[in-house]
Structure 1
Amino acid sequence: MDPQQIVFLLILGGALALFVSGRMRVDLVAMLALLALGLTGILDARQLLAGFSSEPAIIVASVFVLSAGLSATGITDRIGAGIGRAAGGSEWRTIAVVMPATAALAAFSHHVMVTAMMLPILMRLARERKLPVSRLLMPMSLAASLGTTLTLFSAPAFLLASDLLKRGGAEGLDIFDITPIGAVLVLLGTTYMLLGRWLLPRREGEAQAVDPLRLERYYTELLVEDGSPWIGRTRGEFEQAFAERLQVVDWLRHGVRRRRQAGDSPLAAGDVLLVRAPPDEIASIRDEPGLALHAVAKYGDTPREDRQAELLGEEQLVQAVVAPHSEFIGRSVADIDFLRTLGVVVVGLWRREGWLHGELSEMRLEEGDLLVLWGRQADVQSLASHRGFMMLMPFQGRRQTRRRAPLAVAIMVATVVAAATGLLAPQTAFLAGAVAMVVGRCVAIEQAYAGIDVRIFVMIAGVIPLGIAMEQTGTAQAVADLLMAHAAQWPVFVLLLVMFGTAALLTQILSDAATTVLLAPIALAVAESLGLPPTPFVVCTAMGAVASFLTPIGHHGNLLILNPGRYTFGDFLRVGVPLTTAIALATAWMARALWLGGPLLPSLPG
């Protein structure tokens, strides 16, 4: 072993120790390893910075923006709600519907975002259908991870695998090259969870404390504006159109509660609908044609005594809790006249108990009521010291540009088609798609930047030089020679299983990207020693890094469901060991069939 290999192994050992210890963020560890490779002269400046301009890093950043666009236009929420409706009331049907649908969604988005989106939907479904939530969350999380095996861009490990194949002189992977394996794994995982439901624990979900920063439903008023497309249409049509988004509680006309509120009664200009709506809908109502928040439409453009209330561009929504012994208790919103006295408008109200009816301005406030206030930043900030309020908090509602949902879908489809057909280079196609999402106003530029997980981008850019150094110093070849000295006579199928199994174990302490970068050069060297195409060996390595479900720490999505489902490490081992073993066998078999000419179906003895 030459001195350069020894130095590299010391750097690699130090990086692994820091990765495992968790004392530093993974992106910082990757940067430290990168600097060490440069300072020791193992890599030159061009090689050190190759990761930042690499295809995987650009595609990963672009996919985050594309996912943010799908989320900002409400597409992912609609799909998630549709999955919840199709799941039905039985446990087996829920698993049979949720797993393939979640996997398909994760194939074109980030699997952690998909898991986070599906989590409250399944929690609510389990509560309504009286199903143990622990029997639903784990299958959903596993499906989200398996969905990343359907397309090349859905997991950084596959992008890195393709990049390493190109660096090794082989042909890279196309977007759908791994789809046959992924489809088999999704089918296998769904079948396994349906037949092996007895392996899942039967526990009620963790009790969800009320989060004052993001409550599920608020009361607010919607005004049917002059010229609205809803004029003349019935209340039933309105409720059907907004069925998944809000609930109509009361209907006012000329300030008076309507006596006849049948579904076939037509709406008129100036009608006010008292609705229960989630925060995202309140924040997004300005984008609904012909509808407005009643209080904002009524008071927002009213001249103030001191100056014109030019709120556009600097208005914001905040939440304020009515304090004990507040001067507001027992007084109605209209009596207090929030606009004149405090410079803000009440646009929503949350009350722990009881249903509200009638005009919001006539509601008499109670201790603990949470008001949603709309006003200029300067006026809002002055409320923080007001004795009538116990606390002032940001309003946790995301504005969704639902009207641009068709455009967002079109951009996503065009991006995938352009990359899959070779019309554009993959990194160019995805970068163009991300830019189109912003230029097309599907997602705001600030939201697009916020959607990019910089840690993953920097980590990928930082670990790519580790793979280059492992190959350049000859360390990968040395490890491959050591392996072949003991396994030269093993069947290729067994060697593919070895690559999968090694990655499956290492990914429990490292990320899938880092695992792939470290082991893929060894897979390349093993294939070269055998005189075989490297693709199946590298793909099995990446699959092992992505589709291993031995512990909850192997995937971030599993960590999201750990507490809500009240799972233990033992639960994941009991469910994950047989599943991971089956996935390893299926992956090695499919990889051999796709790239080495092996049989697709097992031959029957005869």
Structure 2
Amino acid sequence: MFSLVVTLLVLAVSMFFFVQGKIRSDIVALCSLVILMVFDVVTVDEALEGFSNPIVLMILGLFVVGGAIFRTGLARVAGQKIVKIAGDKESVLFVVIMLVTGFIGAFVGNTGTAALMLPIVMSVAAGAKSGPKRFLMPMAFACSIGGMLTLIGTPPNMVINEALIKAGYPSLKLFSFTPIGIVVLLLIIFALLPASHLLCKKTEEKKSNKRKNKSLNELAEEYRLSRNVTRVRVRYDSPLIGRSFAELKLPTHYNLTVIEVDHPSRGKFFGEGRQELAGPTSVAYGDDILYMMGDIEDVKRFSKEMSAPILSEKEAERESFHFRNWGIAEVLVMPDSSFINRNVMETNLRAQYGVNLLGIQRNGEYIIHGLTEKNLESRDTLLVQGTWENIRKLSSSNTEWIVLGEPLESAAAVPLDHKMPFAAAILVLMVILMVTNAVSSVAAVLIAALLMVLTGCFRNVEDAYKSINWESTVLIAAMLPMSTALEKTGVSGIIANALVEYLGTIGPYALLAGIYYTTSIVTIFISNTATAVLLTPIAMSAAAGLGVSPYPFLFAVTVSASCCFISPFSTPPNALVMNAGRYTFNDYLKIGGPLQFGMGFIMTFVLPLFFPF
């Protein structure tokens, strides 16, 4: 009885912190694991069993394989080529984006797929009448659905496979999930094709018709750069002359940033090169014009102390931003970026990446002033300025951010990594090994991961380790003993018996619907992986209690865990596209709510067709 109470309390507290989200999910899971171990609910061996579980080892290997596909540019090039086939027809473009995203999601994790497809979709949808807003949310849904196409596509698939093996059933094959995955993907496409128009209001569509692409000047106007940039002219007696901007430490001393330097004297003889992108090594000369970002009061203080008078409005009108050798771009901070909760100054964007931070878009608001005092948050959109080459290089830092709106032509012009053929060959080898059962699925994935490293698909071994999402890995390893505790203490049996008692008497279809909707509701609040770990033993017990096959019930768990569309925070792809698509919480309720619960009704009757009771 004591163990039962402890398990229920730990489960309740864990779910509370999962929902609250203020503490990392892996830390919550580890704390739960330690408490269960300390109170002897699970033995030490049972507690640590999750870290050697085949699921965890396979997920580690898949992160490495997916990272190599990502870093060599294989997935990006494939996505660009296929999406480009759609042309200008919105309906065709919508379907192709969904199919391509789903296909990539079958082999790359949903977060990686979203990070890969987001800039591509932003680029190809920029010319569409309704703009990218119509495509981004459906693309996020397709990222999660794509994981249902293969055994290795998403952790919940591997969780139910492990449960079947543990119960003495044969292991599922690589493509055992494919028929269901295809049905779900096609249903989602069929439902969203007309419904996605609701995401674009008529006023937005008219606006998009007038403006097919957001130009650099329009992007600057959106962030009100012209209204927040003050121009000053450097006098010949100014203490600025001959000193680098890094030495002056303007952000620290004045809370200001120089984003551009205009050399009028140089322009008299050399028309090109008059404008210079400000950087740490930039030096100002007499008569130069500096473009200062910051509060006007700080500019006035700087102007007085540095003998750099502010230009009058009449003089300033003749000056404008120059997009010749440099440009601006929006960058979306990834949920697992190392920059989250770090001060803007600590990121050292200018020195490390050669770009200037001009503004932050957070929850629909634009932050222009006091940037040096801000800490970056997950899903912030940053407006950065730099040379075109440096802006393109930002795309290579896939674990930190996503560059939005990168021109498709520019992305295609970047030289392809010479290791791309190796990544493609290794991926094909992994699939062949898994399909033919030449080796176990875990061995096939680990072989592929090692080959990716040995053939140089990563810059170094450390880069391969960086591709692993350790939070997700530790979460699964630490939560697996929770399912053991639920079984040992009888919690799974109690819940399963209640479902069987109230729904089983109606029939297996009612019980299947109960399992599906229970999973669906829980997934709204906690991750789909944690949900699958918790609901899988309940589904197994419920099937046993009714004396029917566990397959449809377990597939109901994994399908429901992957089909969570009602909340922007239920899956990483949903969260990633929220800022980029300027969606509100109501957009997810309006589109995702009917979709999520309607899918449950359909799956209740479709799943038994593939996996009879």
Q: Under a length normalisation based on structure 2, what TM-score does the superposition of the two structures give?
A: 0.67
After superposition, the C-alpha distances for 1:24-81 in whole angstroms (9 at most, x for unaligned) are 1000001001101110101111111111111111111111111111122111121222
- 2:178 is matched with 179
Partner deviation per Cα, 1:299-348 (whole Å, 9 max, x = no partner): xxxxxxxxxxxxxxxxxxx9936647258979xxxxxxxxxxxxxxxxxx
Matched position secondary structure for 1:320: coil
Does the CA contact (< 8 Å) of 2:70 and 2:116 recur in 1?
Answer: no
- CA deviation vs aligned residue, 1:551-590 (integer Å, no higher than 9, x gap): 1111110111111111111111111122223322333333
Give the deviation of 1:199 after TM superposition: 2.9
Q: Distance in 2 between matches of 1:406 and 1:394?
A: 29
Q: Which amino acid aligns with 1:497?
A: A
What's the counterpart of residue 572 of structure 2? 556
> Matches of 1:190 and 1:422 in 2, distance apart?
33
How many Å separate the matches in 2 of 1:50 and 1:325? 63
SS of structure 2 residue aligned to 1:529: helix
**Aligned: 1:353 with 2:322:** yes
Q: Which SS does the other structure have where 2:51 is aligned?
A: coil
Q: Which residue of 1 aligns with 2:504?
A: 488
User: Which structure has the highest helix share of the two?
Assistant: 2
Instruction: Please say if 1:568 is aligned against 2:584.
Output: yes
**Deviation (angstroms), 1:491:** 2.4
For residues 210 and 3 of structure 1, do their structure 2 counterparts lie closer, same or farther at Cα, with a shift above 3 Å needed? farther
Q: Supply the AA of the counterpart residue of 2:447.
A: A
For 2:488, the equivalent position in structure 1 comes to: 472
Alpha-carbon distance in structure 2 between the residues aligned to 1:568 and 1:506: 22
Instruction: Kindly indicate whether residue 279 of structure 2 is the aligned counterpart of residue 320 of structure 1.
Output: yes
Contact in 1 for aligned 2:136/2:581 (Cα 8 Å):
yes
Residue 449 of structure 1: how far off its partner (Å): 0.7
Alignment of 1:282-431 (within 5 A): 320=279, 323=282, 325=284, 353-355=322-324, 391-394=350-353, 397=393, 398=396, 402-431=417-446
> Which residues of structure 2 form unaligned runs of 5+?
223-276, 290-319, 330-347, 355-389, 398-414
- Residue 352 of structure 2 aligns to a residue whose secondary structure is strand
What aligned pairs does 1:191-270 form with structure 2 within 5 A after superposition?
A: 191-202=190-201, 203=204
What is the CA distance between 1:210 and its match in structure 2? 11
Per the TM alignment, residue 5 of structure 1 is displaced from its structure 2 partner at its CA by 1.0
Q: Structure 1 323/16 Cα, relative in aligned 2: closer, same or farther at 3 Å? A: same
- Counterpart pick for 2:594 among 575, 578, 584: 578
Partner of 1:89, secondary structure, is coil
The verdict on how the C-alpha distance between 1:175 and 1:15 changes in structure 2, with shifts beyond 3 A counting, is: same
2:438 aligned with 1:439, yes or no? no
**Aligned twin of 1:106:** 105
Alpha-carbon distance in 2 for matches of 1:494, 1:324: 74
Structure 2 counterpart SS, 1:148: helix
Does 2:476 align with 1:517?
Answer: no
Mapped partners of 1:167, 1:586: distance in 2:
29
Cα distance in 1 for partners of 2:520, 2:328 equals: 51
8 Å contact from structure 2 (residues 503, 514) kept in 1 = no
Distance 2:278 2:429 in 1: 40
User: Structure 1 209/408 Cα, relative in aligned 2: closer, same or farther at 3 Å?
Assistant: farther
Q: Secondary structure at the match of 1:176?
A: coil
Which amino acid in structure 1 is aligned with residue 523 of structure 2? T
Q: How far apart are 1:111 and its partner, in Å?
A: 1.6
* Contact preservation (8 Å) 1:418, 1:424: yes
Matched to 1:353, the amino acid is H
Q: CA RMSD in A?
A: 3.1
CA shift in 2, pair 1:559/1:423, >3 Å: same
Q: Please state how far the C-alpha of 1:171 moved relative to its aligned partner.
A: 3.0
One-letter amino acid matched to 1:489: T
Match of 2:140 in 1: 141
1:245 matched residue in structure 2: none
Written as runs of structure 1 = structure 2, the 5 A alignment for 1:42-121 is: 42-121=41-120
Q: Tell me the SS of whatever aligns to 1:138.
A: helix
Q: Determine the C-alpha separation between the residues in 2 that align with 1:326 and 1:44.
A: 72
Measured in 2, the distance between the counterparts of 1:319 and 1:182 equals: 51
Tell me the SS of whatever aligns to 2:351.
strand
1:448 to 464, 467, 472: 464
Displacement of 1:103: 0.5
Q: Give the Cα–Cα distance (whole angstroms) in 2 for the partners of residues 319 and 48 of structure 1.
A: 55
* Alignment-derived partner of residue 218 in structure 1: none
Q: CA deviation at 1:467?
A: 0.6
Q: Pick closer, same or farther for the CA change 1:543–1:433 going to 2, 3 Å.
A: same
Q: CA–CA distance in 2 between the matches of 1:548 and 1:113? A: 18
How many residues are matched? 444
Verify the 8 A CA contact 1:149 1:181 in the aligned structure 2: yes
Letter in 2 for 1:510: I
Contact conserved, 2:504 with 2:510, CA < 8 A, in 1? no
CA distance in 2, matches of 1:85, 1:209: 28
What amino acid does structure 2 have at the position aligned with 1:536? P
Whichever residue aligns with residue 499 of structure 1, its letter is I
What CA distance in whole angstroms lies between the structure 2 residues aligned with 1:355 and 1:25?
A: 43
Maintained 8 Å contact 1:119/1:561 = yes
Q: Secondary structure at the match of 1:532?
A: coil
Note closer, same or farther for the CA distance 1:323–1:172 as it changes in structure 2 (3 Å cut). same
Give the drift of 1:538. Answer: 1.2
